[in-house]
Amino acid sequence: MSERIAVYPGTFDPITNGHIDIIHRATRLCDRLIVAVARNAGKGPLFSTDERVDLVGAEIESLTAKGLRIEVHPFDNLLMHFAESVSASLIIRGLRAVSDFEYEFQMAGMNAKINPGIETAFLMSSDRNQFISSRFVKEIGRLGGDISHFVSPRVAERLAVSFRSQKDEGSED
């Protein structure tokens, strides 16, 4: 029996507790999970690709220490081409709410046309993580709100440092 490899793609800018929950649960569906960090400069990420890969890697250390086979890789090509390059047979997508479903459904359909041999599985966010989005975490953190319920202390600190440096750069004008 061949190894079942899954890819969980995202921008992860920043990685949230919701992402970690999906990662942990996705490991039950495969032998090896690859967290694929999209370069996606079009979204204007706060952190560089390398910083996001490092943050994701640090956040999953506790899971890999338990023997779960999780890797983190950047990618900047079509998701299905990346999945093929790592021999994945499964794409994992997280759904927070019904509003996510239409977009994800269309994307899964397009991906199936590109490569019908790679399935897409949707995992619903747990109740405590349904409302978390990286965009809202950044907005709350940038405005000085408490983001400790949404991200790990390590990520919260990295965000605080980033916001302080942005503020310092802005005050020089």
Which residues are catalytic, by number? 19, 43, 96, 134
Phi, psi of 102, rounded to the nearest 5 degrees: -60, -50
Q: How many CB atoms lie within 10 A of CB 140?
A: 15
Question: Is the separation of the CB atoms in 122 and 8 below 8 Å?
Answer: no
Q: What angle do CA 8, 100, 81 make, to 5 degrees?
A: 35
Distance CA 153, CA 7 (A): 26
| Closest residue by Cα to residue 33 from 50, 61, 9 | 9
